[in-house]
């Protein structure tokens, strides 16, 4: 029963799922759906995800979308995955779930919209919107502050003071990595005040090396495309 | 070990948790945190939820926030809860999780912001914003269409064609019930095209009666307050 992962390496939740599979030795076929050219809206893909968004998976009869649901499913469905990724203990699990839920309306909302409005828009044939980016940055920076003071308080190596990364570490780290595509001065202004977050991302990177770096290489290609579009 | 639920009946995720506890005979103490007057930002409450939002729970040593995480925890921690609310089967669970994740950036984003910008603002000392409400309504209506055509397709009594309600039914139904506070003509314009959703909400109501109605009574009080503020 082959697992198919439909995604795109420019999509932060797609990256999280691809890295998760590689780190845990889960055999899968990666199917690239290029949402920058509208491929996610084609009927064939909407048969898999009627919401027309990446990522999605097909595993046997199961078609599943929403990256957090996918990560939790994979951690449960493949017996070789170490417990730390998504602990069976209901209290540990509930705390990870709380971070995943918080992510949607806070860190993800801020980071995704900031990246689109300040840099990525043209790659998706959308105009840049510097005014909206100012508001997005406020949500992003407030989210980074909460991440640092609430879940990385103390000398925690991973979120919640855990010794091993969980699906929440991977999902949130991939989100922040998206900032690689924005101007360096913007990234420094936003991430500079958060040394603990930078250290934590390094920890996630080390724990998932070399897959984390390999899957994120695509962002450098996108950055080059943005520079090209700018100079045109 | 008493369960404490910190919430407010004007908050749709708080209502979902209160109804869930009542329906499942979970003994709990309801602590009202009046976020309309800023009580959620007081230091005592931030000790429980550093994000300063309702709802949150305290159960023994566990402090937990984010309503979906709370609902899943309660369904797992209290052995008397029927399996249908949050099935142990990983495929059924993954599909419910997918709806819960989708909820954040779609139905919730549309409904919450629409209600604040078109009606609830003054109750929270915020101005109404009819221009923003137009954009919110687009997200809300697109979400309602997806809800009807994806998860309520066929003659399903509950989401995913289930015979019993899950935590996703309760969470999403409480979200849509928030529209009780907006003008009747607005509510009819938005919900009118979705007869299957109205029928589904009736199914959720029946399955959780009389608690669903009792907990939602507060919305009528709020509606009266809005009318009073309007006429002042």
Query: In Å, what is the CA distance from B120 to each residue of A65, B7, B89, B127, B231?
Result: 33, 17, 40, 9, 15
Give me the CATH number covering residue A24: 3.40.30.10
Q: What distance in Å separates residue B228's CA from the closest CA in chain A?
A: 32
Q: What phi, psi does B29 have (nearest 5°)?
A: -105, 125
Are A156 and A215 members of one domain?
yes
Q: Are residues A118 and A176 in the same domain?
A: yes
Confidence of residue B156 (pLDDT cuts 50, 70, 90): confident
A43 with A98, same domain? no
Nearest one of A168, A155, A151, A160 to A199, comparing CA atoms: A155
Whether residue A134 lies within 8 A of chain B, CB to CB, comes out as: no
With CA atoms as reference, the chain A residue closest to B95 would be A64
pLDDT band at B179 (very low <50, low <70, confident <90, very high): very high
- Give the one of B62, B94, B105 whose C-beta lies nearest to A91's C-beta: B62
pLDDT at A60 over 80: yes
Q: What percent of chain B has pLDDT over 70?
A: 100
A79 & A154 share domain: no
Smallest CA–CA distance from A103 into chain B, residue: B104
pLDDT band at A155 (very low <50, low <70, confident <90, very high): confident
Do B184 and B160 reside in the same domain of the chain?
Answer: yes
CATH number at residue A90: 1.20.1050.10
Give the pLDDT confidence score for residue B64 in this predicted structure. Answer: 98
Mean pLDDT in chain A? Answer: 96
Contact A219, A178 (CB under 8 A): yes
- Verify that B58 and B11 share a domain, yes or no: yes
> What is the pLDDT averaged over residues B109-118?
96
A63: helix, strand or coil: strand
- Residue A6 in this model has a pLDDT that exceeds 90: yes
CA Rg value for chain B? 17
Domain count, chain A: 2
Residues A134 and A220 in one domain: yes
pLDDT of residue A192: 97
Residue A129 sits in which domain range?
A: 86-231
Beta strands A3-7 and A28-32: pairing type? parallel
Confidence of residue A75 (pLDDT cuts 50, 70, 90): very high
- Asked whether B49 and B57 are in contact (CB, 8 A), the reply is no
Q: Please give the ipTM for the structure prediction.
A: 0.96
Of A110-124, B52-66, B93-107, minimum mean pLDDT range: A110-124
Q: According to the model, what pLDDT value does residue A69 have? A: 98
Whether B1 shows a pLDDT value over 90: the answer reads no
């Amino acid at each position: 029963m082959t697992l198919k992962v439909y995604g795109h390496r420019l999509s932060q939740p797609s990256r999280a799922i691809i890295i998760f599979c590689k780190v845990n030795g889960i055999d899968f076929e990666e199917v690239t759906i290029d949402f920058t050219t509208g491929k996610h809206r084609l009927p064939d893909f909407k048969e898999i995800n009627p919401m027309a968004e990446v990522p999605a998976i097909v595993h046997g009869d199961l078609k599943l979308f929403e990256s957090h649901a996918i990560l939790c499913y994979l951690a449960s469905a493949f017996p070789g995955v170490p417990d730390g990724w998504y602990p069976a203990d209901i209290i540990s699990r509930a705390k990870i779930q709380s971070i995943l839920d918080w992510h949607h309306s806070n860190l993800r909302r801020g980071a995704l919209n900031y990246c689109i409005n300040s840099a990525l828009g043209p790659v998706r044939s959308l105009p840049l919107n510097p005014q909206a980016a100012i508001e997005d940055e406020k949500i992003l920076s407030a989210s980074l502050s909460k991440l640092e003071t609430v879940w990385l308080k103390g000398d925690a190596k991973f979120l919640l003071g855990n010794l091993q990364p969980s699906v929440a570490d991977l999902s949130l780290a991939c989100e922040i990595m998206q900032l690689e595509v924005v101007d360096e001065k913007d990234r420094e202004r936003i991430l500079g005040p958060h040394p603990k977050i930078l250290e934590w991302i390094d920890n996630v990177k080390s724990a998932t090396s070399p897959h984390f770096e390999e899957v994120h290489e695509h962002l450098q290609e996108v950055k080059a495309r943005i520079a090209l579009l700018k100079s045109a």
